[in-house]
Amino acid sequence: MGRGRRRRTHLGSAERDAGPAPLQDGDVGRISGYRFGHVVVDGEIHTRDLIVLPGRVIGNWWRREGHGLVLEDLAEVLEELPERLIVGCGYASQLRPDPRTLAALRDRGIEVEVLPTTEAVHRFSERDPERTAAALHLTC
């Protein structure tokens, strides 16, 4: 197959050589290999927005408005969110969380960090993956 038509199911040599995000206490790094429109979670390549929870990954995460984030966008996972949520707002931070949504999450006792996705992936690697979730916008 030509380069443009290659199936994206396995890690390429550059991604394998780069290794996972820093590990904590022997845990396996969950999120690695982020670049515009692409991230590796638990060894699986994702090319659409996603939510990473301690017990599962929600791929192909859609929001009511593409570059907004309202509480309704998290309805499927709201009861599963651990004490910390890291929101990756995209490569150029185009996703804009509604301040009322952030306040509602904080009212539920959830610490929320809003960062460009590159920084969000790094921050996630520094946190306890059993107590942290990530909602990641992969493109703009």
Q: What pLDDT score was predicted for residue 29?
A: 67
pLDDT of 65 reads 93
pTM of the model: 0.80
What CATH number is associated with residue 52?
3.40.1230.10
Tens-digit pLDDT string for the chain (140 aa): 333 332 233 333 333 333 333 333 334 469 998 999 999 999 999 999 999 999 999 999 999 998 999 999 999 999 999 999 999 999 999 999 999 999 999 999 999 999 999 999 999 999 999 999 999 999 99
pLDDT of residue 23: 36
Q: Is residue 121 situated within a structural domain? A: yes
Domain that holds residue 97: 8-15+28-136
Number of domains in the chain: 1
Q: Is residue 69 part of a domain?
A: yes
For residue 16, the tally of other CB atoms under 10 A from its CB is 10
Q: In degrees rounded to 5, what are phi and psi of residue 73?
A: -70, -15
Q: How many helices (H) and strands (E) does the chain have?
A: 3, 10
In whole angstroms, what is the distance from residue 137 CA to residue 51 CA?
9
CA quadruple 125, 74, 108, 56: dihedral sign: negative
Is the Cα dihedral 100, 105, 108, 112 positive or negative? negative
* Domain-located, residue 122: yes
The DSSP-derived string for 97-135 is E-HHHHHHHHHTT-EEEEE-HHHHHHHHHHS-TTSEEEE
The answer to the question of residue 36 being in a domain is yes
What's the pLDDT score for residue 42?
95
